[in-house]
Amino acid sequence: MSEAPALRPYLAADTPVLAAIFAAAIGELTGDDYTEEQQEAWMAVADDEEFGRRLAADLTLVATLQNSPVGFASLRGKDHIRMLYVHPSVARQGVASMLVDALEKLAGGRGAERLTVDASDTAVEFFRKRGYVAQQRNSVTINGEWLANTTMQKTLREDKP
Ligand SMILES: CC(C)(COP(=O)(O)OP(=O)(O)OC[C@H]1O[C@@H](n2cnc3c(N)ncnc32)[C@H](O)[C@@H]1OP(=O)(O)O)[C@@H](O)C(=O)NCCC(=O)NCCS
């Protein structure tokens, strides 16, 4: 990367490009962990109008490079990471780390004592390295396909102020 990514809040006009990042991330980064049928079903989530509604309802951050979105992440309520997707062209360059650093600070600012995520099998190692601990395995149906994920949790602070 020639320059460091920047972060900004989501805008409604970002929805199509974030949908494209979502589909590309799933299509190109999760193939070792999910079947093609599962990837197709997961990618199709972005075709639903609900996709943009959720991004707007959650606290969604967009990572940009030279003003173009390259990744995004969202916080539901004060303590659950709902989305984390990075474009394959910039994978393993710290974009997700930057997004989750920011969400952890925002969650702390909202008073969260811990943060949870239902991590894809692709993302488990990313979250484990950041101190998230696996709580349980889940099977969820997405567009008729069963996909496994792992609920993980990180303690942000031990004591209430
Ligand atoms: C998971 C994902 C968001 C990571 O994004 P990223 O920007 O590549 O992550 P980072 O560069 O910040 O990674 C930081 C560290 O996490 C670990 N990590 C990241 N991706 C990993 C992977 N696929 N396998 C193993 N470790 C990984 C590495 O230790 C990495 O550091 P390193 O590159 O110096 O070894 C990205 O792979 C993605 O979009 N995946 C598809 C969608 C998905 O599964 N989203 C999660 C839904 S919960």
Residue 75 · residue 58 · CB < 8 Å:
yes
pLDDT at 20 over 70: yes
What is the structure's pLDDT at 128? Answer: 98
The single-letter DSSP state of residue 154 is E
Protein residue with least CA distance to atom 15, ligand 1: 126
Distance of CA 111 from the midpoint of ligand 1 (Å): 26
Q: Which region, left, alpha or beta, applies to residue 131 given φ > 0 means left and ψ of -120 to 50 means alpha?
A: left
Contact by Cβ (8 Å): 119, 132: yes
CA-nearest residue for atom 5, ligand 1, is 96
Q: What is the pLDDT of residues 36-75, one digit of tens each?
A: 999 999 999 999 999 999 999 999 999 999 999 999 999 9
Query: Which DSSP string do the residues of 41-53 spell out, in sequence order?
Result: HHHGGGGSHHHHH
Three-state secondary-structure class, residue 29: helix
From 32, 61, 92, mutation site for ligand 1 pocket: most ligand atoms within 8 A of C-beta:
92
Pocket of ligand 1 (CB under 6 A): 25-26, 29-30, 84-86, 91-97, 117, 119-120, 122-123, 125-126, 129
Split at pLDDT 50, 70, 90, the class of 116 is: very high
Q: What is the pLDDT of residue 4?
A: 84
